[in-house]
Amino acid sequence: MLDIKQIRENPEQVNKLLRRRSPELNIDEILKIDEKRRSIQKKADDLRKERKEISSLIGQMKQEGKDTSEIQARTRKFGDTIKKLEQEEAILIEQQNTMLLNIPNLPQEDVPVGPDEKHNKVIKESGIKPDFDFEPKNHWDVGTNLDILDFERGVKISESRFVIYKGAAARLERALINLFLNINTKKGYQEHVTPFLVNTKAMTGTGQLPKFEEEMYKCSKDELYLIPTAEVPLTNMYCDEILKESELPKYLTAYTPCFRREAGSAGKDTRGLIRLHQFNKVEIVKICTPETSKDEHEKLTRNAEELLEILGLPYRRIELCTGDLGFGASKCYDLEVWMPGSQTYKEISSCSNFTDFQARRANIKYRPDDTGKATFTHTINGSALAVGRTVAAILENYQQADGSVAIPEVLQHYLGDERSINK
């Protein structure tokens, strides 16, 4: 959520940055409501002040034995007017907050400006793409031929975009989860096991609600949502808390299944493991001070890159332009892994700096050591990594001419020293 004070004091700058995201975005209506709300608040405050002064006068008159009935009747009318003004102000506050909850974060000044993904910036490419002496297959064909991925039965027991992992694929998925968690914890991230169902407040805190409700799976009877990412429970653990500066930065990691309707992705990556309604992911989250967030964002992104390097998977880092930024992100790097079957890169991690956008919504603060005033933290997160997409990348990059798949050396001891997946 944007800071209403920042909007009020720098409206032109806020509008300029918002329009870098999309030309129709602005905070003009929020300012109108804020001005009206503050006017009503002032009227109510003036009346309270006047009522207080009159109350003192009434006390004095009573001591002097004077009749106070007329002035008391006037004071009662003040109360009725103040109550009406408070009701009007409450309505305006609700309208203002609703608008603020639907306004995206401001992009950082150095984020590339552009309307869509075509304007994203390639920061670097890393790794060596495999050179096959045969035509590489897509991962869904590799997995089906090896009888380790069952898309048909996944659809039969659920619906489209659900899959069953079998045998070696199930073990590979589990091995990757263990590998990612082990490496993340060695880098200082504290491992957590969190609930997979969260309440409306948590989903609002990290920005999924109200804007993206159609993307979520909701258990209406219990008013709980299946999480779309571990970012939601990990970040919201600290909602409505004031942390000590000495506690920061917090490094958090968790494996969770993730659930997304993918309502806005019709026709995109409909085959395979890239865009499922249920998938596994290991997340890394940081809660830090504003002064350190840019550096912590770079380090978090590098942590995710190192997982791809350990697995020997070619990838590239993309800096998202203003028009392609996620709703809550002020700056974002996507890591895209090379997929030989389609000769394209696919996103495998999205590493975002949210500045104080989520902290303001979730009310996560810290108290600096040298002052007594609490202020909002910054939050950062990224996938480390999306597990199903990593399986897909391994099946494609490590496929062999005979249809088998070599297992990356770093994973072999997790799989009982298996070196390949064979039919």
Catalytic residue among 174, 347, 404, 420: 347
**CA dist 273 → 162, 181, 232, 268 (Å):** 9, 21, 23, 12
Q: Closest by alpha carbon to 301, among 311, 280, 315? A: 315
Contacts 24+ apart (CB under 8 A), 147-153: 147/423, 148/421, 149/273
- HSE (CB half, 13 Å, CA atoms) of 306? 12
Reply yes or no on whether 260 is catalytic: yes
Whether 350 sits among the annotated catalytic residues: the reply is: yes
Choice among 37, 51, 275, 360 that is catalytic:
275
**Separation CA 387–CA 84 (nearest Å):** 55
Whether residue 210 has a cis bond before it, omega within 30° of 0: yes
Taken as a whole, the chain contains a residue count of 423
Residues near 361 by beta carbon (within 8 Å), at least 6 away in sequence = 1, 101, 204, 205, 206, 207
Q: State the catalytic residue, choosing from 260, 316, 360, 361.
A: 260
Say whether 8 is catalytic.
Answer: no
* CA Rg value for the chain: 27
Structure tokens that stand for 134 in this block: 């045969």
Enumerate the active-site residues. 260, 275, 347, 350, 389
